[in-house]
Structure 1
């Protein structure tokens, strides 16, 4: 009987011998939780640098082109503080999403000793990834860029140079939310600035020349509109995936649901931490994912 593509992709067996554990090196020691995670991918690093440069560009235009020349000091202070705070939170969320282990499965743990330590019962199976030679948990997928199996992998995002998985999804969601907010804020301020400049002399509404001011504002408007649409869609997609407890890969592959179904609120608490607090909006607060066994690979 011919095997289906799913069976050809995954090596599934209850017997340790069929997993060819002799081809795997002993598993490395478990990294400390303080170790920084960083993917050395040229495309991802370039996208990450571009993201930071675009945010700094928006900050420059907002502060030095629109707010500092404004005559209303209160307007400048409120909008400057709000935009700078949101931009700081966006960059902090980006850094946490990029430098946080998304839930990588230890490489090379498909050894005979490790498989025997699982003490498999009749009917239980384990999944082996032949690419990184690891015994991976249910709902884990291999990322060709990270070269690791990632638990609850949603997708690999080049803009954060990392996978979006079990341990960093909160930071990715916050990143998309804050980028969407600063994009919307910038577009609103650009609209007000154009109205003000059209009603008065262009030389009085900016310290730059009128042509330079127009070019800077048009580029900011284009950037804000593009990223507002992109990040808003990503934010909505991520929230929907969290509420339904189904990752992007699982939706794409239409994988059969074999995990416990929870309420939408419980799914949100699993990703952002529980109980609900202002820490949900902070990229500096690491969510508590519970005390699940680090080596829970048996399904």
Structure 2
């Protein structure tokens, strides 16, 4: 007698098990180049908070620490560096939020499409009953995006999107640049405290001493919190890429059915072929070379 798992796979392999009313034809695609955006209240709020926190840090760095500084060169160098990192961080956040993470076409689990796969005896096709799609290997369903996402790592409310096959580069860059500007702001805040202790507090800032102290403490708290959080996220993402195993696959301890590649090759798959300065730019689309065909059956 077959186990429930085997019976489930037999049902999945049967091309006609879904009735037409259960699986409508795929919806028509929107205009070419249409922006991807998830209408999730929590994610939108988290995304707005992310931008507000970066802009708050920008305000404190420019108007509390750099403008009153004694050295014009110090203010210029740190201002250019901080603003460059902030633009790259916000650009990475925008790209991670508004890039299709690798969504599987919705509603393609129709009898006609399954028959077009020309399944052989013993082959299994995976279907998602929630979004009515045929799931390629390593795809998982996201309850927030309401879609199956190829190589889904996790859904991140801070970017209001899933982190998947097509936007993982931008998410990694976002965590890296946020960690860098957090570290930079902490170092500048430490120098500014020393600068204020050496001089009169009324002359080391355009704000009153209590306001200056409060703004610096808030910036230090924000910088330390996000430095720890994004550094950990950056490390886990790089490890996930190098091991070619997503967060969901690690959590579920799924059986590895895909070919093992070197760490360097795994990095190039995410950031693009070949290695160049574009790896560090959120405005450069990764060049993945010739894409491998997706496997729908196992």
1:278 corresponds in structure 2 to 277
- Structure 2 residue aligned with 1:56: 55
CA apart distance, 1:12: 5.6
Q: CA RMSD in A?
A: 1.9
Determine whether 1:67 maps to 2:66: yes
Equivalence map 1:27-66=2 (5 Å): 27-30=26-29, 34-66=33-65
CA distance in 2, matches of 1:283, 1:70: 32
**What is the match of residue 173 of structure 2?**
174
Q: 1:102–1:169: 8 Å Cα contact kept in structure 2? A: yes
In structure 2, distance between residues paired with 1:43 and 1:214: 32
Structure 2 distance, partners of 1:228, 1:186, is: 10
Distance 1:20 1:264 in 2: 44
- Alpha-carbon distance in structure 2 between the residues aligned to 1:289 and 1:91: 24
Give 1:124 shift.
1.9
Shift of the 199–187 alpha-carbon distance from structure 1 to 2, 3 Å rule, reads: same
Q: How far did 1:10 drift?
A: 7.4
Q: Deviations over 1:104-137 (max 9, x none)?
A: 0011101011111111123221100000011110
Structure 1's 171 and 32: CA in aligned 2 closer, same or farther, altered over 3 A? farther
In structure 1, the partner of 2:117 is 118
Within 5 A, what are the aligned runs for 1:121-132?
A: 121-132=120-131
* Structure 2 counterpart of 1:237: 236
Query: Offset of 1:27 from its aligned partner?
Result: 1.4
1:161-187 deviation line (CA, Å, top 9, x unaligned) = 000000000000000000000000000
The aligned residue for residue 195 of structure 1 is 194
Cα 1:84–1:166, aligned 2, differ >3 Å: closer, same or farther? same
Distance 2:269 2:278 in 1: 13
CA distance in 2, matches of 1:64, 1:8: 66
TM-score by length of 2: 0.95
| Secondary structure at the counterpart of residue 288 of structure 2 | coil
Number of paired residues? 298
Q: Is the 8 A contact 1:97 1:171 kept in 2?
A: yes
| Aligned 8 A contact 1:273 1:287 in 2 | yes
Unmatched runs of 5 consecutive residues or more in structure 2: none
CA distance in 2, matches of 1:73, 1:7: 72
Q: Which residue of 1 aligns with 2:255?
A: 256
